[in-house]
Structure 1
Amino acid sequence: MIQTGLEKFIKNFPVELKSKRIGVLCHAASITSDYINIIDCFKSLPCTLSAIFGPQHGIFGQTQDNMVEWEGFIHPCLGIPVYSLYGKNRKPDSGMLSGIDALVIDLQDVGARPYTYIWTIKLCMEACCEKGISVWILDRPNPIGAIPFDGPMLNKNHFSFVGGASIPLCHRLTLGEMATLLKNSFFSSLELNVIWMDGWKRSSFFSETGLPWVLPSPNMPTPDTAVVYPGMVLLEATNLSEGRGTTRPFEIFGAPYIKTGEVLAILKLLHLPGCIFREHGFIPTFQKWKGEYCNGFQLHVTDCRAFLPVYTAVAMLSAVIQTSGDKFQFKQPPYEYETVKMPFDILAGSDDLRGFIEKHVSLLSIREKWIESHRAFNAIFTKISHYTEN
């Protein structure tokens, strides 16, 4: 049975934190295996919960979309501040940290670089390093840790709130391992403590862990969504609907102008592993193409271990561009607090991928470039990897 960092934290509460004032960064998915949220867990722990911090989407997952900020408030039952780290502040300021001795972080990540929670953690690590406050990460599974590295590395010139370290789009790391990488790279003097999981193997998918899935964000309804997300998130930076406003975001996608038959003919020739594109029309209830009929597809993953999420999404985008003329468009900034660089480029990690797609560069040659960069990253990955493959 897998024990998450939270459950080990409760069972063997760190002596260093006894009688201390604690801040906690958490959200709706910060739960035990019997669905008790970490905020409620603190009621029985020998410390004082002094402040709560919430990432994008809020501590209850209440804000639906990108760039929908939320405001902090006083917790109605506990009478302590709940601070928003997706609004006026993304990095905690001195006032927010003044009443705590340590910051405990328990967030469920999805294994894709653009998912903002790890970059909220990075900003918290920076703030705590400046104030001499210790950080405690309660580790959780990477739900797609079994998928090999996939997609381009992030260029330092394209660091943003959807990427703040040179890692692949699909990176295989847990948040505890990512925090270790960030400490080694940026915050060497930070007191970082990771409560590692027991029993988790990187070769497992979330559906194999026996742990309950709670939406870590409103458009991540199931572990299936996490499998396709590292590639399909690129659609956020285009005028294709990524399925927001449907019940299967990031699996369903399309636009009124898509020529599904022509796209499907190209994709069939590529023999993309572990997946099937099924024609599926839809009408989004909000966001892009709201209320309009979209020609599109549902991406069905038939073999998670063979599936390549980023390569598959890039192949699909290439096919759409080839068959759509000037109707397909990359979105212009701003996007996730970046006002200059193209949204697609900060998601992809540089402007290379957009250029390759527009110039119809061979998909295999694109992937070969990724694989070469992954070899170099693997040396870093091996040093910080805490968990075994099997």
Structure 2
Amino acid sequence: MASIHFTRRASLLAALSAALLAGCTQMPAAQQAPVVPATASQHELDTARFAQLDAAIDAAIGEHKLPGAVLHLERNGVVYEKGYGLQSYEPGAAGVTPDTVFDAASLTKVIATAPSVLVLAEQGKIDLDARLVQYFPECASGGKQAITIRHLLTHTSGLPSGLPPTPAWHGSAAAHALACSLPVTNPPGTLFRYSDVNYVLLGQLVEKVSGTTLDQFAQQHIYTPLKMVDSGFQPLKRFQPGQIAPTHKSPEDPNQRAPHGDVASGQLLQGVVHDPTARRMDGVAGSAGLFTTARDLARYARMLLNGGQLDGVRILSPNSVRLMTTPQSPAGIEAVRGMGMDINSPYAVRPRGTVFPVGSFGHTGFTGCILWIDPNSHTFYVFLSNRVYPDDKSNVLPLYTQLGTLAAQAALGFDYATVQPIAMAR
């Protein structure tokens, strides 16, 4: 069954602030955040847009573009959150609610890997403009000597978009050897190419300089202090399969080639990472592997909008937030990225919609996930879905545009025409 939650956080009630910021987190009744009717007089969100958002998502579900989804829209403490549809198309499938855990795919890059790198930079353990070979001398061949950590974070390294699946390989060490063997196709700093290889290497950099794996580091330095209680890698260690939206079902016919060649005939991916590279790395990669909920991502978004802290707990310095969310791409490259977040690359057009200005930022995930934040209007939205179920063939990009546009239009009284253009080069 669909679940809906609409609140306004009462900033003057300090005793309730943690509960209110956590949105729909399940707590004893006495600790539940107060629920109040949504009215236009609250001067934050236009409630008329809610029905339009519902209709757009319900239409996509009706067309079998995706089995289910969760939407979280928020501005200055006013929240609209709802679950839609079912976890799958199978008879008796469970309904999606705000408690449903989703495979966040490439949101991993900006919710786990980039912030972990920036935390380590704050600690003086990583120099963001140092060369990759300073940390990994074994990566010195094939024109990679000039790649810097900044190049990896902004997808300007010149490395290919992904690791090849053949010959068959398994494990982080094999992934590292393969990444280090790849030559650049363009001189570092001269071209934008979105690349999982960049973030595989960054995840391994976190492990090398911290002495702990990426999943453990992110848990210790991001999710636990931020009270992102549902977030992490390898979710079957914490959740039952039924709490997690499935992403892929391999054909039963063993002679039929599955889109993911390493998935057994008839296998259901439910709590097992959808991304094949991350799956070959046992579910923990800098490029993919994170599972999360909409309410956890909402806490992360609030932290960024609040300059790196939430509920009195600092996760990132204001400078790290700036590096992650404002233009950091090398000069002369048209696609604009922060050290993590997308700002104005070709991948930003759909989730940004037609109203949010360039200077808003966010990221998407292949499984059907969006986090998009506008610091000007203090509006953000989270969309989690499993549009890849069962065969990766569904296209929801038009829905992304609708969601981004309606989310921006929901910001009551904000004139986007007054937003100053951002500087397009650092």
Alignment TM-score, normalising by the size of structure 1: 0.26
Q: Which has the higher contact order (CA 8 A, sep 6+)?
A: 2
Alignment TM-score, normalising by the size of structure 2: 0.24
